[in-house]
Amino acid sequence: MRFGAVPLSIIATSGLWLYIIYLGFAFGHPMAFADGQAAFHENTTMSARLLSALTLERFGKLNLTDVSPAGLDQWFTLLFFALIGCSSGRRLACDSCLLPAR
């Protein structure tokens, strides 16, 4: 059974939509979580954080010599990227073997 991208996108983001609806009814401000995020991120705007994420700005500031628990998340990020890269390469090789010839 194949689903379209639009229904799957709605399902994938339904938690965020329900949270926005809840904030709208409970506090009268549906985007209240954005204010909390701005305070956590030193009052940067959402567009500035989005631009930072799109340009991968944080990866230019990796400090791999930090051995504190807060510094370990950088190692985990690199480890997860490496695992994703290795698994996707193997999957492509395996999928090409399993596909029937047309």
pLDDT tens per residue across span 49-67: 888 888 878 777 777 787 7
Residues 6+ apart with CB under 8 A from 75: 64
Collapse the DSSP code of 42 into the 3-class scheme (helix H, G, I; strand E, B; otherwise coil) and give the result.
Answer: coil
pLDDT tens track for 56-100 = 787 777 777 877 777 787 888 888 888 888 887 665 555 555 555
What pTM was estimated for this model as a whole?
Answer: 0.46
Whether the Cβ atoms of residue 75 and residue 64 lie closer than 8 Å to each other: yes
Distance CA 85, CA 12 (A): 23
